[in-house]
Structure 1
């Protein structure tokens, strides 16, 4: 075998395995990171002691406004599991806020909404 073998072409770009981006971690440090949870940057300065990589900083740029985690993963082009771990790191550093979606139990029942519409029409 020679050393002249190229495993990927230049158009493919750099290949980094997901576990390398997360330091081998597969779970986020917080259980509040649901697919539909909204994440937004706090605007706090990045602590000098924070061990943030390029992907962490990239995600911070994507959450300047509140966005669902699933949308962040799509725009970042990363697997959702990786994004959850990286966002968990940012949450631990106080650099983002995460708000869970409204539980289905707190949404009004369909029958109540239909009665409301009927009452409004009667006015």
Structure 2
């Protein structure tokens, strides 16, 4: 019992992972999902907004861990960005990059750069176009 707080012990009960009341601690640390590596495999350059899409080639259970399979399964219905995948999996973005790089290297995922922002409209070009359209008979 904690002094001054009747009915409580010193330790607060941690919420269960996935419960609506809060976030629990992961049972497996994120660095274990990466195999303890410091750098992802392969040469793919991933940004947090890189778009990932699964292929029809399911990752074999012998070559990849459960987090790899969860990522591949998450992407079966359609494409998501790395940061969206990280949120769904409850992993840090950096750990998700490791998993995605492994799966891209094995041909189980496709990755593409995010769509670049459109450039600002060139007002003079639009004005010249408008003048040309008005000059048409």
Residue 45 and residue 62 in structure 1: after superposition, are their counterparts in 2 closer, same or farther (change >3 A)? Answer: closer
Number of equivalent positions = 111
User: Relative contact order (C-alpha < 8 Å, sep 6+): which is higher?
Assistant: 1
Alignment of 1:37 with 2:50, yes or no, is: yes
Report which of the two structures shows the higher radius of gyration computed on alpha carbons: 2
CA contact (8 A) 1:27 1:84 kept: no
Pair 1:52-2:59 in alignment: no
Q: 1:14 to 1:81 in 2, by over 3 A?
A: closer
TM-score of the aligned structures, taking structure 2 as reference length: 0.65
Gapped regions of structure 1 (runs ≥ 5) = 1-7
Partners in 1 of 2:58 and 2:116 — Cα distance?
32
Deviation at 1:10, TM superposition (A): 8.7
Structure with greater proportional helix content = 1
Question: What RMSD over aligned residues (CA atoms) do the two structures have, in Å?
Answer: 2.9
Q: Identify the residue that residue 33 of structure 2 maps to in structure 1.
A: 21
Q: Scaled by the length of structure 1, what TM-score is found?
A: 0.72
